[in-house]
Structures are given as C-alpha cells and as structure tokens.
Amino acid sequence: MSEALLALAKAIERKETAVLATVIEVAGAAPIKPGAQLVLLADGQTAGTVVGGNLEAAVLADAVRAQQSGQPHLAHYTLTQEGPNAIDAMCGGEVQIFLQPHFPPPRLIIVGGGHIGRPLQAMGNLLGFEVTVVDVKPERHMTADLNAVTFTPDTYVVLITTDYAADEAALRRVLQTPARYIGMIGSRAKCESIRAKLTAEGCDEADPERIHAPIGLHLGGPTPAEIALAILAEIVAVRHGILTNQQTSIHPRNSPIAA
C-alpha cells in the first residue's frame, strides 16, 4: 500500500476527514506519472507526493477547497507560466488530477431507546449513520450519559424519551453543540412550551429554525416504525439540503407525531 493510501486508511479508521489526490493523466513534459497520489489530512499534514513545487502547491489548494465543499473534483493543470490553468512552471506539460474527499460517517444520536428508538437505530445503521443510543435503561442504551457523546457539525440528534423533563434537559445540552439537526418528539403544546421557556431564560440557541418540533416529515403512518421512517426522512432531507425551512415539515394536528 502506498504512503498516501496508508495515511488515508488510518484517517478513515480514526473517523477523520481526508482528501486523496490521484494523478489520472499526464501529457507532454510533466515530471510525474499517472497513479501518483497525495493525501491531505484534517490537521493539514500530507502523505505521498505529486512531485512537489508549484504543482503540489496548486493541488493542495484545490484539496482544501474539495475538503470544504465536500465534492469530488477533476482538476487540470498546465505546467506553464501563462495561460489557462497555468501554475507558473516551465515544464510545458499538462496534468489531470482527481481529488476525492473522504468524510467520517454522519452521526445519529437517539435520546430514548424505546419503541421508536429501536427501529430508528436499525434504519440509521442501514443508511450508514454512526448511531448512538442514549437511555437511562441499561438494556436499551449504548450510553446513559449524553455528556459523554461527541457532537460534530454532521451530527443529527433525535429526542424521543417518554419524559417531558428528560427531553427538556437533553435539549438544553444539545443546543450547546454544533449538531446540524435537533428534532424533538411531542405535541405542539409541549414543543412550544419548552421553546418558550428556554427563550424566556435568554437561551438564544432555542431558535425555531434549529429545533425541528414536532419531529419528522408528515408521512401519515402511526406505527413506531413509520414514525421512525418519518424522522429519518427529515434528517436525510436536512443533510442533503432539500429541507432548509421548518415550514416544510409542519404536521397537521391529527398527525401521530404531533398529537
């Protein structure tokens, strides 16, 4: 295994972001061969090489952009001092490099491992989420302490306990994190009561646009598995940028999630 691929494998094992750059095609006098690889790690360190110099500097700059956008990119470089895609080099050749960002799996934190939490955990695993179940009951949790959970900007939190106070306490904790999605099950009255209480206490993070409550898309299904599906559907829509406005997911009053 090459140095770049070995470093990439270790980054994936550590669940860290990395961008792999692979030389796809070379033309003219470029001092590099197809197959050469360079990996940019989350801390800015690199492994492998695509020759160095101006070419490597240009590739690393594009790798940073791929890391930020999350999108793979086929880049073209001309090893000249002027012209399209020029990198201020004098070799005169051309190089095409494919940049592929790799990210850790999204995290799904389920607070409440009951009748909805169980199918939601199974569906989350099926869709590639790294699932953690938080519950006070040992037989249905992975951890009992929400404070022990790590949150990232690609974390999605579902509050589905059977206790109003427990949901409120969990919401207070989660609002302090960079979690991308926070959904809370319960009636409109319960959700609005908790929001109003947090707002009255000066909790600026209790933004209605951040808290999805009542939780899930309105799919109409009343069973625990169907409710879990509605929740996960909303999470997937948020993750892929399809759902950006709370108005999209409002439930009618007879919804099993908002009742």
The pLDDT tens digits for 11-64 are: 999 889 999 999 999 888 777 889 999 999 999 999 999 887 888 899 999 999
The pLDDT tens digits for 125-137 are: 999 999 999 987 7
Please tell me the predicted confidence (pLDDT) of residue 253.
47
Considering only 87-101, 177-191, 244-258, which range has the smallest mean pLDDT?
244-258
Please tell me the predicted confidence (pLDDT) of residue 256.
53
Say whether pLDDT at 259 is over 50: no
All structural domains of the chain, each given as residue ranges with its CATH number in brackets, are: 3-102 (no CATH), 107-249 (3.40.50.720)
Higher pLDDT, 92 or 69: 69
Distance CA 163, CA 93 (A): 67
pTM score, whole prediction: 0.73
Distance CA 254, CA 77 (A): 59
Say whether pLDDT at 201 is over 60: yes
Question: 140 falls in which pLDDT band (50, 70, 90)?
Answer: low
Q: Where are the alpha helices (DSSP H) in 92-242?
A: 117-126, 164-174, 188-200, 224-239
Centre a 10 Å sphere on the Cβ of residue 99 and count the other Cβ atoms it contains. 23
Q: In the sheet that 107-111 helps form, which strands lie side by side, from edge to edge?
A: 130-134, 107-111, 155-159, 181-184, 211-212
Say whether pLDDT at 202 is over 60: yes
The pLDDT tens digits for 88-139 are: 777 778 889 999 999 999 999 999 888 999 999 999 999 999 999 998 776 6
Distance CA 244, CA 32 (A): 44
